């Protein structure tokens, strides 16, 4: 049976991290390694991590200063021993108890290198209130030129991809996930499958969308990523990428 490594980056996440942990604990698929990379929290998060780790043998964690979210995720990737690697951030949680089971079954049945699905952005205090519905689709290479990408928190990959392609480029502070996705989805050797289910629920207020300043910075970084990954019309691609998000706010 395959092992799934879940990586969770935390920093002062005492209000939300227990929900994240519980969503992993409640999975019907049990062959899970949970790696928690804490950035030196001071609000009680570490106490919750310790309590969680002391009761479960499959939890590995560190707490130390890092150089941002992607540095933390890279640390987690380096520690992961599972066949499949995915991320559940401290403000997020897996959308259903069977979702890891569904993901692993799709890996096995379709013989793919990666599986991705849909994402719900939910209200920070009321997770039953869906604010934005990121519905994905079956991948075709031409989609990349139109600014398409899967929602990164829903993307689960064979660990071999990280060995072959490397991890996140920490020169990007907000768009390293987009850069990484372009790298691997442009590689014709990799095969991906779309799981038409909501994989993760994400509380609003993430790094890329919590301020106008960050939105501008993300757009600039997206443009750099599009250029460096050889997309033919990077300005058009990034423009379409931003426009494509509008329906996500309407069709819930």
Per residue in 132-148, is it b (16+ CB within 10 Å) or e — as a string? bbbebeebeeebbeebb
Q: Say whether pLDDT at 34 is over 70.
A: yes
Per-residue confidence (pLDDT) for residue 252, from 0 to 100: 58
State what percent of residues in the chain have pLDDT above 90: 87
Q: What confidence tens digit (pLDDT) does each residue in 111-158 have? A: 999 999 999 999 998 888 999 999 999 999 999 999 999 999 999 999
Beta strands at 4-10 and 92-94: parallel, antiparallel or unpaired: unpaired
Instruction: Tell me the CB-side half-sphere exposure of residue 16, using CA atoms within 13 A.
Output: 24
Q: Say whether pLDDT at 207 is over 70.
A: no
Q: What confidence tens digit (pLDDT) does each residue in 154-168 have? A: 999 999 999 999 999
The C-alpha atoms of residue 166 and residue 212 are separated, in whole angstroms, by: 31
Per-residue confidence (pLDDT) for residue 248, from 0 to 100: 82
Class for the domain spanning 4-250: alpha beta
pTM for the model = 0.94
Instruction: Tell me the CB-side half-sphere exposure of residue 124, using CA atoms within 13 A.
Output: 8
Instruction: Tell me the CB-side half-sphere exposure of residue 106, using CA atoms within 13 A.
Output: 23
Q: Say whether pLDDT at 197 is over 90.
A: yes
The torsion defined by the Cα of 238, 242, 244 and 246, in degrees rounded to 10, comes to: -170
Per-residue confidence (pLDDT) for residue 136, from 0 to 100: 97
Residues 2-8: what's their mean pLDDT? 97
Q: Say whether pLDDT at 27 is over 70.
A: yes
The C-alpha atoms of residue 240 and residue 99 are separated, in whole angstroms, by: 30
Mean pLDDT, rounded, of the chain: 94
Confirm if 222 and 175 have CB atoms less than 8 A apart: yes
């Amino acid at each position: 049976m395959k092992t799934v490594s879940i990586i969770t980056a935390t920093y002062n996440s005492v209000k939300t991290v227990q929900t994240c942990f519980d969503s992993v604990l409640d999975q019907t698929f049990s062959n899970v390694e949970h790696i928690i990379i804490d950035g030196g929290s001071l609000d009680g998060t570490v106490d919750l991590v310790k309590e969680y780790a002391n009761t479960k043998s499959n939890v590995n964690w560190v707490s130390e200063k890092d150089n941002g979210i992607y540095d933390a995720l890279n640390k987690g990737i380096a520690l992961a021993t599972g066949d499949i690697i995915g991320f559940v951030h401290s403000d997020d949680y897996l959308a259903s108890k069977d979702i890891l089971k569904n993901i692993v079954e799709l890996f096995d049945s379709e013989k793919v290198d990666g599986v991705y699905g849909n994402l719900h952005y939910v209200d920070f205090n009321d997770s039953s209130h869906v604010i934005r519905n990121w519905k994905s689709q079956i991948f075709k290479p031409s989609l990349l030129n139109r600014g398409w990408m899967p929602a990164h928190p829903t993307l689960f990959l064979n660990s071999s991809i990280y060995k072959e392609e490397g991890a996140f480029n920490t020169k990007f502070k907000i768009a390293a996930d987009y850069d990484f996705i372009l790298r691997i989805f442009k590689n014709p050797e990799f095969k991906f499958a779309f799981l038409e289910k909501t994989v993760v629920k994400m509380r609003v207020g993430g790094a890329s969308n919590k301020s106008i300043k960050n939105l501008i910075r993300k757009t600039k970084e997206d443009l750099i990523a599009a250029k460096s990954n050889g997309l033919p019309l990077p300005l058009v691609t990034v423009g379409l990428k931003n426009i494509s998000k509008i329906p996500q706010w309407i069709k819930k």
